[in-house]
């Protein structure tokens, strides 16, 4: 069983990206599957967790995900600096449109990601997932829009590779600490693996 957790580096006017900090923290664990507590969910299946910090670039991030290929579960993380809660995204839209340049300098204006479907939806029941997260003590909301910047492109690509993917937007550190974020990642990975297996 293979799990992929992705985040992003810094971009635009943000001096730090909490998803990069999360990915770095997970990568420094001796055995991420054991530390995150997913081995007991996997039962007799060995579990490997891979982590990746994606470039905040439309094309490069998409190409990297295509290179990585399909996983049993992909939890993608992104920064939503204008939000105050962790949000779980339900849809990805086949569109790139932002006045903010990506880190390669490209400004996408009303561009389709590819010639695929207008929108893709995760195979997971996001409203039920949000409710379960709240019952577990997390301040979480559902979101119907991952935006039209690189986060959305990554989510769309991830869902093309496998519908067993979900995108989680993390707010700025003043609204959600590293410890809270790690606890949530541990919870959501375990929860989704229990649904898959």
b/e 47-59 (16+ beta carbons within 10 angstroms → b): bebebbbbbbbbe
Write out pLDDT tens, residues 125-167.
999 999 999 999 999 999 999 999 999 999 999 999 999 999 9
Cβ-proximal residues to 183 (8 Å cutoff; 6+ apart), any chain: 138
Residue whose C-alpha is closest to residue 172's, from 56, 82, 54: 82
Q: Is the pLDDT of residue 12 over 90?
A: no
Number of domains making up the chain: 1
61 neighbors 150 (Cβ within 8 angstroms) = yes
41 — pLDDT class (breaks 50, 70, 90):
low
Residue whose C-alpha is closest to residue 6's, from 60, 58, 63, 55: 55
Write out pLDDT tens, residues 49-77.
999 999 999 999 999 999 999 999 999 99
Confidence (pLDDT) at 84: 96
- Structural domain including 139 reads 2-194
Residue whose C-alpha is closest to residue 151's, from 56, 20, 39: 56
36 — pLDDT class (breaks 50, 70, 90):
low
121 neighbors 89 (Cβ within 8 angstroms) = no
Write out pLDDT tens, residues 162-184.
999 999 999 999 999 999 999 99
Q: In this structure, what CATH number is given to the domain that contains residue 45?
A: 3.40.630.20
DSSP 26: H
Cβ-proximal residues to 3 (8 Å cutoff; 6+ apart), any chain: 33, 38, 47, 48, 49, 50, 71, 72, 73, 74, 75, 189, 193
The secondary structure of the chain in percent helix, strand, coil, rounded to multiples of 5, reads: 35, 20, 45
């Amino acid at each position: 069983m293979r799990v992929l957790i992705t985040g992003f580096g810094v971009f635009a006017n943000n001096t730090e990206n909490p998803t990069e900090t999360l990915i770095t923290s997970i990568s420094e664990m001796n055995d991420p599957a054991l530390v995150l507590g997913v081995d007991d969910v996997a039962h007799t299946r060995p579990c490997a967790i891979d982590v990746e910090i994606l470039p905040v670039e439309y094309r490069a991030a998409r190409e990297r995900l295509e290179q990585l290929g399909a996983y049993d579960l992909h939890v993608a993380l992104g920064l939503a600096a204008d939000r105050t809660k962790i949000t779980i995204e339900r849809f990805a839209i086949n569109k790139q449109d932002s006045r903010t340049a990506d880190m390669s300098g490209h400004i996408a204006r009303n561009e389709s990601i590819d010639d695929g479907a207008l929108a893709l939806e995760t195979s997971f029941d996001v409203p039920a997932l949000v409710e379960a997260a709240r019952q577990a003590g997390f301040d979480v909301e559902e979101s119907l829009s991952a935006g039209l910047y690189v986060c959305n492109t990554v989510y769309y690509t991830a869902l093309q590779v496998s519908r067993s993917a979900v995108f989680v937007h993390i707010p700025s550190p003043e609204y959600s600490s590293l410890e809270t974020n790690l606890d949530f990642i541990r919870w959501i990975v375990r929860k989704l693996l229990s649904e898959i297996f």
